[in-house]
Chain A
Amino acid sequence: NAGVTQTPKFQVLKTGQSMTLQCAQDMNHEYMSWYRQDPGMGLRLIHYSVGAGITDQGEVPNGYNVSRSTTEDFPLRLLSAAPSQTSVYFCASSYSTPGAMNTEAFFGQGTRLTVV
């Protein structure tokens, strides 16, 4: 049971470098989202997608881009990494939007990113 798969698990970047965090799900879920988790804070929404070809910004979108060319994949791109982007990133997917009744949301294992 693959569920939600994130790669890589760990990454160190230099300031100004760019990279893509990969997220794939095999549950045919329409809704996918990216979050960052910082110490002492709840997860914060970066970007989300309600289906292939549709993306929208969340609470903290600056410095990140996303695309959704297929139902399965939802990559997150860091355009020019900054130390403030040091965080743990989680991808999540669900059959429908999180507000739908009894919609289960599944999370990947996370990517720990350090920007030096």
Chain B
Amino acid sequence: KNQVEQSPQSLIILEGKNCTLQCNYTVSPFSNLRWYKQDTGRGPVSLTIMTFSENTKSNGRYTATLDADTKQSSLHITASQLSDSASYICVVSGNNDMRFGAGTRLTVKP
């Protein structure tokens, strides 16, 4: 059973609109949660990393939130751009490993 679940699987939005991606996890113990952006044919690139004591972290137009009590995280993208088209991957770490969600495929259309 995958310990990191992301929704939706895919999403299409118009350029300039906002969107929110969800991540639920059951990984225990919990150390940190990362959001990565993966362009087609490329490796994942880090957007944010949060520990259990952090509720929110921003990186430009990307804002991640974390609720360690409900084991949920979200990634909010503001004023989307065509270059935001990519897969967004939620990664949860315990001790030595990283557990990956299957990702949300975002398509931004003009």
A contacts, CB < 8 Å to B: 4, 35, 40-45, 48, 50, 58, 90, 97-110
Given A99-B32, A105-B34: A42 and B101 within 8 A (CB)?
yes
| A/B interface sample: 21 pairs, CB < 8 A | A4-B43, A40-B102, A42-B99, A42-B102, A42-B103, A43-B100, A44-B100, A45-B98, A48-B97, A50-B96, A97-B96, A98-B98, A99-B31, A99-B96, A99-B97, A101-B51, A102-B51, A103-B32, A105-B34, A107-B44, A108-B43
| B97 and A98 contacting across the interface, CB-CB below 8 Å | yes
Q: How far is the CA of A44 from the CA of B99 in the complex (A)?
A: 8
Given A99-B32, A101-B51: A107 and B98 within 8 A (CB)?
no
B contacts, CB < 8 Å to A: 2, 4, 31-32, 34, 36, 41-46, 49, 51, 89, 91, 93-103
| B98 and A105 contacting across the interface, CB-CB below 8 Å | yes
Interface of A, secondary structure class, is loop
Q: How far is the CA of A115 from the CA of B14 in the complex (A)?
A: 39
| B46 and A102 contacting across the interface, CB-CB below 8 Å | no
Q: How far is the CA of A50 from the CA of B102 in the complex (A)?
A: 25
Using Cβ atoms and an 8 Å threshold, which residues of chain B touch A41?
102
| A105 and B46 contacting across the interface, CB-CB below 8 Å | yes
Using Cβ atoms and an 8 Å threshold, which residues of chain A touch B89?
42-43
Using Cβ atoms and an 8 Å threshold, which residues of chain B touch A97?
95-96
| A99 and B94 contacting across the interface, CB-CB below 8 Å | yes
Using Cβ atoms and an 8 Å threshold, which residues of chain A touch B36?
107
| A99 and B44 contacting across the interface, CB-CB below 8 Å | no
Name which of B36, B51, B96 has the most chain A CB atoms within 10 A of its CB: B96
Name which of B41, B49, B98, B99 has the most chain A CB atoms within 10 A of its CB: B98
Using Cβ atoms and an 8 Å threshold, which residues of chain A touch B98?
43, 45, 98, 105
| A109 and B42 contacting across the interface, CB-CB below 8 Å | yes
Using Cβ atoms and an 8 Å threshold, which residues of chain A touch B103?
42
Give the distance to chain A from B35, nearest Cβ to Cβ, in Å.
Answer: 12
Using Cβ atoms and an 8 Å threshold, which residues of chain A touch B51?
101-102
